[in-house]
Amino acid sequence: MRRRGRGERLTDEQLTGLRQARKRHRTENRKRKMLRMDEEGGAQSDSEEVHSGTAELRDLEFKLFHNLSDLQEASALRQSFSLRDLNVLKLVVCSGLYPQLAISDDCNSYRKDSDQVFHTKSKQFVVLHPTSVFATNPEYIDPGQRKSKGSTQPELLSYVDLLETNKPYLVNSMRAPALQTLTLFSQNIDTNSDCTRLVVEEWLELKFVEASSGQQVVSCIQTLRNTWSSMLEAKLESSMKRGESERDYRLEKKVSALEELLASKLAEFLDGVFSYSLSQLSSVAKTHLYKGPPDVTATTPTKTDSSSSVSFVSSESKPHPLKVF
């Protein structure tokens, strides 16, 4: 959207029309507001005409100070985004907002549209802010269909802020693809032996219908995250050497190759169809998560079966550092 610059002056006719509209608007505002009876016996206020004149004035000002052809071109360009483009933009936004995610409640399909409930990792039973788009148009969320068993594309809500007044509210939320967001930006992922189950941040659980799908996802995210990290490191190194007299063409070529690889792999990952379900991890299941080998420096003695010697094992399990992708 481009506003008219200072060099683009309004014509004399446009200035005259704008002055006349403003003069009429000021004159109408000074009139005494009175109620008049209409033909059906109802009361009609002069303020309705004043509001109409105000809207007419604002409409004229908007047309004069904006280039309508540029606005139309910008609108057409925005509508030409593909689903892949929108998902990439969502991932970019989610990379900055993570881990501010919310999952819909299992019983939302039995609630009214205005009573939808969500859960975050730190706060349970949060609701949408009344001024949000999803609160006024709850059909845009449709949590029951997205979370159904075997659904191909479950989604989460990514939000900017959690406002707590009389209720906890999600502020500035948007829908985000669950699988791509969780696997690309999480710091802790647990899997079982055949990768049919992925537990993210000890909070959300992804269950795949087929083991091959889970194994493919794990392979994809390892490649993507390693490539992403290598590209960022190469870009930072390139920016640090930009002030030097000689350009490092080898490094620039490496950055370009990594960008192409990341773009192609990310497009494949976004276009992939994986049949899985999404749910919160139960408290009982959390106790069965693998925490890594025991800490031999702990001070809890236990006796072994082979002899009466005493060995020391950990009394408190801790996450293993190699579990973080």
- Give the tens place of pLDDT for each residue, 165-224: 889 999 999 999 999 999 999 998 998 889 999 999 989 999 999 999 999 999 999 999
Sheet of 101-104: strands edge to edge? 118-119, 101-104, 155-164, 168-177, 127-128
- How does 275-292 read in b/e, with b if 16+ C-beta sit within 10 Å? ebebeebeeeeeeeeeee
Q: For residues 71 and 79, what is the distance between their CA atoms, to the nearest angstrom?
A: 12
pLDDT for res 208: 94
Pairing assessment for the beta strands 127-128 and 168-177 based on DSSP bridges: parallel
pLDDT for res 148: 44
Residue that is written with structure tokens 């007299």 in the block:
245
Q: How many CB atoms lie within 10 A of CB 26?
A: 10
- Residue 59 C-alpha from the chain's centroid: 34
Residues facing 207 on adjacent strands = 197, 277
pLDDT for res 54: 65
Which phi and psi angles does 139 have, rounded to 5°?
A: -70, -15
Q: For residues 51 and 29, what is the distance between their CA atoms, to the nearest angstrom?
A: 10
Would you state the structure tokens that stand for residue 185, as one six-digit string? 């930006």
DSSP string, 107-149: TGGGS-GGG--EE-SS-SSBEE-TTSHHHH-GGGT-HHHHTST
C-alpha distance from residue 150 to each of 161, 201, 275, 277 (Å):
31, 22, 5, 5
Q: For residues 280 and 291, what is the distance between their CA atoms, to the nearest angstrom?
A: 19
Residue that is written with structure tokens 């001070």 in the block:
299
pLDDT for res 135: 86
Return all residues near 202 (Cβ < 8 A) that are at least 6 apart.
188, 190, 281, 286, 289
Q: For residues 103 and 117, what is the distance between their CA atoms, to the nearest angstrom?
A: 9
Residues of the chain with pLDDT under 70: 1-10, 14, 25, 28-57, 60, 63-65, 68, 76-80, 142-152, 243-246, 291-325
- Where is 190: in which H helix or E strand? strand 189-191
- Short-list 291, 282, 279, 286, CA closest to 322: 291
Q: For residues 272 and 266, what is the distance between their CA atoms, to the nearest angstrom?
A: 10
Return all residues near 309 (Cβ < 8 A) that are at least 6 apart.
303
Q: For residues 127 and 235, what is the distance between their CA atoms, to the nearest angstrom?
A: 41
Pairing assessment for the beta strands 189-191 and 197-200 based on DSSP bridges: antiparallel
pLDDT for res 82: 77
pTM: 0.64
Which phi and psi angles does 188 have, rounded to 5°?
A: -150, 120
Would you state the structure tokens that stand for residue 94, as one six-digit string? 């989610």
